[in-house]
Amino acid sequence: MNDIKKAAILVCLFLFLSILVPHVFSKEISLPSESQWAFDEETHKAYLLTLNLQLEEVHRLLPNPETTHQHYVAALAEALELLITEDKEKFSEYEDHFTARLDRKTKTNIPDDMFLQAEIRMQWAFVYLKFGHEFDAALNLREAYLTIAEIKRKFPWFLAVKKTSGLLEVMIGSVPRKYNWVLNLLNMEGSTKAGFEELESIRKSDSHLAFEAQLIHALIQGFLLQTGEGILELKNVLGTHPKNRLALFLGSALAMKNAQSELALSMLDSLHKQSEGLSIYFADYLRAEIYLHKGEYLNSISSYRWFINNYRGQNCIKDAHYKIGLCYWLNGNTNDAQATFKVAKSLGREASEADKHAARCLAETELPHIQLTKARYAMDGGYYEQATQILESIQTKDIPTRRDQVEYNYRKGRLAHKLNDIPDAKRYYLESVAINGDEPWYFAPNACLQLGYIVWEEGNLPLATNYFNKAMAYNKHEYKNSIDSKAKSAIAQIKRK
């Protein structure tokens, strides 16, 4: 059962939203436009408010949802609220609403009714996962998958389903191969290529759901495939929806993932100005991360504390406490750092990768290398000049341990890669792999992943595949799930060439 739970986590890992097989419409198929998914004027207004996270207004407009489309909007609003706030008090209430929607009589000859069932099950797969109910998440994901397959068989012209099926295709197609036996057991298959084709077909359409598909497509590009296209797509979205709170929130996270902390900070500032709607305390966590990147440690501590004091969930709580201690440590306040690290060990849970990494760091007997750590976060934020100065100041005598030697070469490789100095990037990546050996540190597997991206860009597909496979061969490091997923996704794309 533990492997099944892990597989469920991996399937749902990449996106924490509830918004979200392989055939595009052929020219021979006529699309009955009157039968396509469409909101009436009042429901569409509520839907747009939902995507702007003005959820109290949505509940006011739809106090007692009746139609299929009203239930879709109300369910999306509730799921988004739970995913963003992790509010345990609302969980039971909204779970009752979810159960009641499942119990509604579904007409299997009406695609809208079936689509609602697939969507709410997909939403609650994410919600259950967020709240630690992995088995329920896997069960609802499986039911969503089956319902989507039935819709596509009965109604091949129904465009709306491509938003949901496209996301499922990509997620399932990116599950690390060691969990393929679980997918086979559940009779679930996915394809990254097919998923993208489906998302493309709806995000470029005039469907009412095109905006959701745009967001999903951008997030997959940025978080899963590690391309710069993701943030470009989000910026395009914000070009036409500059005040959309959901797009600003997701855009800031994606900009940070793309080492553009200044862009992320400007998005968070814009989000803060759009005060109407759901309070997004996780934005304060992102802001704290940016200040850590910038080396503004007191501002970072303040933002982490605001997040801890206001956020109702548990994800990233341990990491926030750890990062407060880290800020003290990097700022030269050893006593406060040690005291904070001691407290952090007993706080929060270890479900997210950030919390798992924090737990591992807290279990270490030695504190992190100050200069290497500063360089790491400067690079994470895109402050490359600052990172260069830090790394150049490090002397050989300053890196006595093997782990620090591995990290030093890895950081040098990452910086060279970011600055497009490919020969040096390769040289330092390979050096970090050689020194690392079989140690359970994430530096070597991520170096292999990055080497795979480099030689793929150079056109050497066999060597790229070898590096991606090598990245997946490392065991027991804290970023194994995400690195394996990225490597598998890259291999799948190479096979399409």
The proportion of the chain whose per-residue pLDDT surpasses 70, expressed as a percent, equals 90
Per the domain annotation, does 154 fall within a domain? yes
Structure tokens at 436: 């690392």
Altogether, the residues listed in the chain come to a count of: 497
Q: Is residue 282 part of a domain?
A: no
Q: How far is CA 170 from CA 20, 176, 322, 423, 427, in A?
A: 12, 12, 33, 33, 33
Task: Note down the domain range covering 387.
Answer: 382-497
Asked whether residue 210 falls in the same domain as residue 338, the answer is no
The token duo for 63 is: 């106090």
Does residue 25 carry a pLDDT above 50?
no
310 in a structural domain: yes
Answer whether residue 98 shows pLDDT above 90: yes
Same domain, 205 and 326: no
Same domain, 104 and 192: yes
Average pLDDT, the chain: 88
CA–CA distance, 485 with 173 (Å, rounded to integer)? 9
Residues 174 and 196 in one domain: yes
Question: What's the token pair of residue 162?
Answer: 């491509």
Mean pLDDT of 425-439: 96
Output 29 or 314, whichever has higher pLDDT. 314
279 is a domain residue: no
Provide the number of structural domains found in the chain.
3
Residues 161 and 63 in one domain: yes
Residues 261 and 363 in one domain: no
Please report whether residue 286 resides in a domain: no
Burial of 452 per CB tally in 10 Å (0-12, 13-18, 19+): buried
Look at 473 and 106; give whichever has higher pLDDT: 473
pLDDT at res. 195: 84
Write down the pLDDT at residue 250: 93
Helix (H, G, I), strand (E, B) or coil at 244: coil
> Does 129 share its domain with 228?
yes
Give the residue from 205, 279, 256, 238 showing the smallest Cα distance to 36: 205
81 with 146, same domain? yes
Angle subtended at Cα 362 by Cα 417 and Cα 384, rounded to the nearest 5 degrees: 20
What mean pLDDT do residues 206-222 have? 89
CATH code of the domain in which 134 resides: 1.25.40
Answer yes or no: do 463 and 401 share one domain.
Answer: yes
Last residue of a domain, one of 227, 243, 273: 273
In three-state secondary structure terms, 419 is coil
| Predicted confidence (pLDDT) at residue 261 exceeds the cutoff of 90 | yes
Residue type, 274: Q
327 vs 224 pLDDT, higher one: 327
d(CA 131, CA 352): 11
Does residue 287 belong to any structural domain of this protein?
A: no
| CA atoms of 373 and 394, how far apart (whole Å) | 12
CA dihedral 433, 438, 441, 443 (to 10 degrees): 10
Q: Are the beta carbons of 195 and 167 closer than 8 angstroms?
A: yes
278: in domain: no
Asked if 361 and 335 touch (Cβ cutoff 8 Å), the reply is no
